[in-house]
Structure 1
C-alpha cells in the first residue's frame, strides 16, 4: 500500500500542510518539527510523487523531446547532447518517438502538455504533406516554449537549430566531382520531404557549376531506410551505363548500399565510389572508411537545450525567433576516389 502525505502527517502528529512545506522546502517550519517529519519520511521510506509536487509548485522541471526515429544514431547523439545539458540544469526528460508520422507527433504533443512539462524540443516530421490545422493549432497554442531541431513547421515559425542540407549535399557531390567522377547517382529520401528537396538542390548545384548534365536515370528516391537503398543500389549495378559514384543521402541508407555492393563483390572505391550524408559509427568501427558530410549532432542537442533554457529563464523574449544554421563537416576517408 502506498504511503501518503496523510500517513506521514498522522504519524508525525502534524498537519498535512506542514508535511507539504517540508517536502517542497517552502514556508516556515520549526527546525524541531522539520526533523520530526523527515524522520518519519525516512522511517516509512516515502518517495514524493513528482506529479503531486508539481501541483504544489507549478513546476515539473521536466522537458519533452520528440524525435521521428529513435533507432537512428543521428537522433541518439542529439538526445545525448540534450541530456547532458538537462542534467547540468537538474531537468528531467520525457522522450517520445513518432516513427516520422504526423498523427503520432500530434499525440505526443498532447501527452506532453498533459504532463505539465516546461518546454519541448522537437524534430517534426520532414514530410510537407500529412499536414492538418489541428496539428498547427496544437503546436502554436500549447502554451510552452518550443525549440525545433533540424526540421521546419510549415505555415509557422519557431526558434531552432538547423542543418544546412543544401550546402552539405553540395560539398559531398563536389568532392566526388573533384575526385574525377562525372557520372554520379544520388539515392535520396522520400520525395515529399523538405530535406530530400534540399539535398537534391545541393546535388544539382554542384553538377551545374561543373557543367555536368543532370540525368534522370541517375536520380533515385528511397525511404531513408536500409531496405530501399539496398534495392536501389542493386538496380544501379545492373545499369548498362552505370555511374562511377553514388551519393547516398542518409546514414541508414548507406548500410543498404554497402550490403548490395559487397554482395556483388564490388570494391569501394575501385569499382564504385560512395559518399554519405551523416556519419554512422558502425561503418567506421568495421574499418570501411566511408566518406561523409557530418552534422555535429551532440553539439546540436546541447545548443537546442541551451536555447530552450534561455527561453525558460527569459534570457530572450519567448516570442523572439532565433535560428542557428549549422554547416555539416565534409570528412573524406577515401571512398570518394575515382580509380579508372
Structure 2
C-alpha cells in the first residue's frame, strides 16, 4: 500500500505553502490568484489527496461525523430518510453513522452513550416508540449528552429539544380534503393504534378536516390497522360492508393490504371504494397507482442536516442552545395523486 499523500506533498508539488493549499481546498478567502487556486485543486486531485479528518479534528475540535439513530432499519421510510440524510451530509463534507435501536428504549439509551463516546459532532434522533410513550427518560438521556441533538420525524408534544419533522397534521388534512372534494361523505380510516406518534397526529388532522365539512368519523369506520399490511387487509371487509365509499389508511402498508383484499373480492379502487395512503412507498411494491401523502423526504433530510449543523460548535459556548432555546421546523408533505381516488358517482 502506498504512502498517504499529505498536505505537505500537495504544497511541494504545487509550489505553494501548506496554508495556501488548506485555504484553496477549503474554499477560504486568501490572497492568491484564481490560477493559483485552480492549480492547487488540480494537483490535489491528480495526487488523490484525501484530507485527514482526524488531524482536522485536532484543530477544529470537530470529527466531521454525524449520527442518525433510527428505530427500524427495515422500515422503508426510515431507510429512505437515512439515505437522503447521508447524501446531504456527504455533500457537506460530513460522514454519517446510522444506528438501529430496534424501537427499544434500552437499546436507544445505550446507543446514545456509545455515539457520544465515538466523538460524533451531533446526533439526529428518531425516538423509539417506548420513548414516545413517556418522554421523561428520553429527555434525561438527551440532557446528559454534550453534543447537539435534533429530534427527527417522531416529535414529542413538548418542545424541549431542537426538532425537525413532517407536518403530519396537515398531511392528514390533505387526505381528508381530497376525499371530501371528491364528494365522499361516508369515509373510513385505518389508523395505527393508540400509542402516541406521527400516525395519531395524521389521524387528528384527518378527523378535524372532516369535521369542518360536517362529517363525523363513525366508530365502525374507525379501525386499527396496527401499521401492518395485514392490518389493512383485515380492516377491509368491515369497512366495505359498512358502506364506506372512501378510506384513508395512515400508512401505505395498510393501504396496500386494503387494496389486496378489495381485489380478492372482485372490487377495485376507485370505482368501488377510493383509497388514500401515507408515506409514498407503495411504488416499491409494484403499486405506483396508489394515491398517497408523501412526507417530502428530500426536504426533510435537508432540514435535519441544516438543523444539526447549525448547532455544531455551540456547545463550546456556555449552555446547550438546542435545549435552552429549542427550534422546531415542520416540513409540508405533498399529495401524490396516483389514481385510487375518484369522484363519488351520484
Calculate the TM-score normalised by the size of structure 1. 0.76
Q: Which runs of 5+ in 2 are unaligned?
A: 9-51
Which of 66, 70, 73 is 1:70 aligned to?
73
Which of 148, 152, 160 is 1:149 aligned to?
152
Q: Which runs of 5+ in 1 are unaligned?
A: 1-7, 9-21, 26-48
Q: How does 1:187-202 map to 2 (within 5 A)?
A: 187-202=190-205
- Assess, with a 3 A threshold, how the Cα gap between structure 1 residues 268 and 288 changes in structure 2: closer, same or farther: farther
- Assess, with a 3 A threshold, how the Cα gap between structure 1 residues 338 and 57 changes in structure 2: closer, same or farther: closer
Calculate the TM-score normalised by the size of structure 2. 0.75
Deviation of 1:127 after TM superposition, in Å, equals 5.6
Which residue of structure 2 lines up, in the alignment, with residue 19 of structure 1?
none
- Assess, with a 3 A threshold, how the Cα gap between structure 1 residues 57 and 326 changes in structure 2: closer, same or farther: closer
Task: Give a deviation string over 1:91-132, Cα, whole Å, max 9, x none.
Answer: 222111223332222222122122221110111135676436
Which of 331, 335, 338 is 1:333 aligned to?
338
* Contact 2:256-2:282 at 8 Å conserved across structures: no
- Quote the Cα distance in structure 2 between the aligned partners of 1:291 and 1:269: 10
- Quote the Cα distance in structure 2 between the aligned partners of 1:264 and 1:98: 39
* Contact 2:292-2:336 at 8 Å conserved across structures: yes
Which residue of structure 2 lines up, in the alignment, with residue 31 of structure 1?
none
Matched pairs, number? 299
SS in 1 for 2:72: coil
Deviation of 1:160 after TM superposition, in Å, equals 2.2
Which residue of structure 1 lines up, in the alignment, with residue 248 of structure 2?
247
Which residue of structure 1 lines up, in the alignment, with residue 270 of structure 2?
269
- Quote the Cα distance in structure 2 between the aligned partners of 1:339 and 1:261: 18
- Assess, with a 3 A threshold, how the Cα gap between structure 1 residues 74 and 168 changes in structure 2: closer, same or farther: same
CA RMSD in angstroms, aligned pairs only:
3.3
Which of 163, 166, 183 is 2:186 aligned to?
183
Q: In the alignment, does 2:105 pair up with 1:102?
A: yes
Q: How does 1:9-158 map to 2 (within 5 A)?
A: 59-126=62-129, 130-131=133-134, 133-153=136-156, 157-158=160-161
* Contact 2:133-2:196 at 8 Å conserved across structures: no
- Quote the Cα distance in structure 2 between the aligned partners of 1:303 and 1:108: 23
Which residue of structure 1 lines up, in the alignment, with residue 301 of structure 2?
301
Deviation of 1:314 after TM superposition, in Å, equals 4.5
- Quote the Cα distance in structure 2 between the aligned partners of 1:114 and 1:300: 27
